[in-house]
A and B are shown apart, each in its own frame.
Chain A
Amino acid sequence: MISLKSVSKVYLLGQTQVKALDRVSLEIKRGEFVAIIGASGSGKSTLLHLLGGLDRPSNGQVIWDGQDLGQMSDQELARFRNQEIGFVFQQFHLLPRITVLENVLLPATYAPQKNLTQAQTRAKTLLSQLGLSHRLNHTPNQLSGGEQQRVAIARALINQPRAILADEPTGNLDSKTGRQIMTILKKLNQTQGITLIVVTHDPSIAKEAKRVIEIKDGKIK
C-alpha cells in the first residue's frame, strides 16, 4: 500500500514560492489502477514524481508498505526506483545512441544483483510480447512514436516492478496508438497485478481507471 501523509512540495522561483502540492494525503492499494487528472500546472507530475521516489517532498511523508521514502538515502532511493518502480514518460526518454534491446536492458544494468543474460532473455520476451521482436537492434529514432512508447514500457517492466507510474503516456501519440498503449498498460494491471498510476488529461482514459484523483492547485479535489 502507498500512502501520502500531508505531502507538500514547494518550488522556489527566485524570491517567490510556488506551491506545486499542498498537504496532499491519499492512499493507493496494491494492484489498483489510478488516474490522476487536473489542469495544466495543477501538480500532477509533481505528485507522480513524489510517489515514485524521483523527488523528495518539502513536507510530509511518502510511505510504501510502511517504508518512508523520506528516510532513505539517495542511494537507497535509487535502488527503490530501480527495483519497485517503472516509469513511463510522455517524451519516451529513450537513449538515442543505443539499440532498442539495450534501452530495455538499461534498468537491469543498475540492478544490485545483476544477471544480464537472464535480463536479456526477459527483455526479448517482453519486446516480442509488445510486438517489437523485429526491432531489437534498431535505434529509437527508427521507430514510430507508438513503438517507442512500447519500448519504454518494456524498459519499465524489465526489473519486475511493483508499480508503473506513467506521466501522460499517450500525450505524444495519436488517439488510436494512445488507446493501444493504454490497453497494454491496463492488461499489465489486470493480469499481473502491477499497480498502475497514470497521469492524464484525457477523460476517456480516466474513465477506464478504477479510481480517479483530481488535482486542483496542488490539492486533491
Chain B
Amino acid sequence: MFIYTLKIIWTNKLRSGLTALGIIIGVWAVILLVAIGNGLKVYINQQFEQLGANLIFIMPGNLLENGRYNPHQEMTMLSGAKFDERDWRRLKRLDIIEAIAPVVYDNARVSAGRRESFSEIIGSTAAIETIRELTPEPGQGRFFTQAESRRSKRVAVLGYQLAQDLFPQQSPLGKKITIDNHRFTVIGVAPKKGGGGNMGPSLDQRVYLPYKAAWSLTEEKKFNFFLVKAQNQKLIPETKKKIKNLLSQRYDSEEFSVLDQTEILQVISKILNALTLALAGIAAISLIVGGVGIMNTMYATVAERTREVGLRKAVGATNQDIRNQFLLESAFLSLVGGLVGLGLSIISAQLINHFFPAEITFWSIILALGVSSLVGIIFGLAPARRASRLSPVEALRYE
C-alpha cells in the first residue's frame, strides 16, 4: 500500500511537487525564522556572559512593569540620555556598591587615515575598566585613568577588532584617530572580547573614551546608563533596592529601571520570543495555504481515480481502507514537502550563518514535520472521505 502511494506520487511528479510547494515554503519559513530567533538569543546570551559578573544596569525608562516585561516601553531605553552627574555622585556614595561606571553611549564614524569604521562609542570613567574587564594585555598600552576621565583628556582605547581594522599590521599606540572631527590619541587596545557570531555591533568594535571627552561628541552632557558592580551575587537584590530608593527621591518609578543581567536577558529574550512567534505565525499561514493546495489536488486525484476506488471496493476494500489510502497519500505528500522545506532551511541557515546567527533546534524540526504531516491529514480528510463513501457500482460506471 505504501509503495503504491509512492508510485502514485512519483508518477505525478510535477503535480506532486507543485502541490507540496506551499508546504515546502511554509516549513522552510517557519524553521528558518525560529532558527534566526534562536540564534539571536544564543548570541545575546554569549555577549552577556562576556560582560562580567554581578552587574547591575541602571537605565532610563520603565522596562519592567511589576517585574514583567513592559512591551510599551522597550524604546525608552534608546530614547536619549537621562541621568546627570548629580545622580552619579549620589549613587557613588552608596557603600553597598563596589564600583559604578557612568556610560555615555553614541555611534560615530571613527577614522584613521583613509580607514574608517562606524563604531559604538562608550564614554565612561576608569571604573569601567574593572567592571568590564577591559585592562589591555601587556604591550597593548593601558586604559585611561580616573584623572584623564575627569579632565576630558582626548585619549581613546580601541576594541580589539577595531584596532586591527584601523591599523592593520602596526601598533595603534600613540596614533591619532578622528571621531566626528575630534582627534583622539590611542593609548590602549582592549582585550579580545569576542562575541561569537558575526553580527554587529561586536564588543571588539567599540571605542572607549573618557566620558567628558565623549560629551564633546554628544548634544547633552548626560549619561545614557550606569553600570554597577555589586560586591557579590547575594547582595544584588539588596543593592538594587538601595539604588531604587535613592533614585526614587528624584525620579518617578516609571522613569528609570534597575536591572540585573538575568532580568535584562529576560527582557531581551521576551522581545525576541514575541518577535519570533509573530514571524513564525505569519509563516505558518503559508502552511494553511499549502494545506488547501493539498486538499485541492486530493479532490482532483479522487475524481480521477473514481474507477480505481470502485474496483478496490469490488475486490474487498472497506470504506476505511479507501479513506486511509488517500489520507496516506496526502500526509505523505505533505510530509515530503516538510522534509524538502527542512532541507532548504538547513541549507539557508548555513548560508545565513555567515552574516547572522541562526540555530535550528531539534524541536523546531519535530514541530515542522509533525505539523506538515498533520496538515496533510487534516486537509486530506475531506477528499479521502468523499472517496471512501463512493458507491462501488457508481464508481465503476464512472467515466
Spell out A's residues near B (CB within 8 Å). Answer: 49, 52, 54-55, 74-75, 78-79, 81-83, 87, 89, 93, 95, 97-98, 102, 106-107, 109-111, 155, 159
Contacts and interface: CB of A to CB of B under 8 A. Distances in A.
Nearest to A107: B315
Given A55-B391, A93-B311, A81 B8 contact: no
A155 B315 CA distance: 9
Interface string B305-343: 001101111111111110000000000000000000000
Contacts of A159: 316
Interface in B355-399: 391-393, 396
Contacts of A79: 316, 318
21 contacts: A49-B393, A52-B314, A54-B393, A74-B318, A75-B318, A75-B319, A75-B320, A78-B316, A78-B318, A81-B314, A82-B315, A87-B314, A93-B311, A93-B314, A93-B396, A97-B8, A98-B4, A98-B7, A107-B316, A110-B316, A159-B316
Contacts of A78: 313, 316-319, 321
B14 interface: no
A81 B319 contact: no
Interface of B: 1, 4, 7-8, 11, 307-308, 310-321, 391-393, 396
A87 to B, nearest CB: 5
Given A55-B393, A109-B1, A95 B311 contact: yes
Contacts of B307: 93
Contact of A95 (B308, B314, B316, B321): B308
Given A78-B318, A93-B310, 14 more contacts: A52-B314, A55-B392, A55-B393, A74-B318, A74-B319, A78-B321, A81-B316, A82-B315, A82-B316, A93-B307, A93-B314, A97-B7, A98-B4, A106-B311
Nearest to B315: A107
A218 to B, nearest CB: 16
Nearest to B12: A97
B3 to A, nearest CB: 9
Interface SS of chain B: helix, strand, loop or mixed?
helix
A102 B391 CA distance: 24
Contacts of A110: 312, 315-318, 321
Nearest to B314: A87
A26 B308 CA distance: 32
Contacts of A75: 318-320
Contacts of B391: 55
A75 B313 CA distance: 10
Contact of B315 (A74, A102, A106): A106
Contact of A89 (B8, B313, B396): B396
B13 to A, nearest CB: 13
Contacts of A102: 4
Contacts of B317: 78, 110
Contacts of A74: 318-319
Contacts of B319: 74-75, 78
Nearest to A159: B316
Given A93-B311, A95-B311, A54 B392 contact: yes
Nearest to B389: A74
A201 B56 CA distance: 98
Nearest to A155: B315
Nearest to A156: B315
A102 B317 CA distance: 15
Contacts of A55: 391-393
Centre residue among B4, B7, B308, B392 by max chain A CB count within 10 A? B392
Contacts of B316: 78-79, 81-83, 107, 110-111, 159
B9 to A, nearest CB: 11
A109 B313 CA distance: 12
Contacts of B312: 106, 110
Q: Which 6 interchain pairs have the tightest Cβ spacing?
A: A82-B316, A110-B316, A107-B315, A78-B318, A93-B311, A55-B393
A115 B392 CA distance: 26
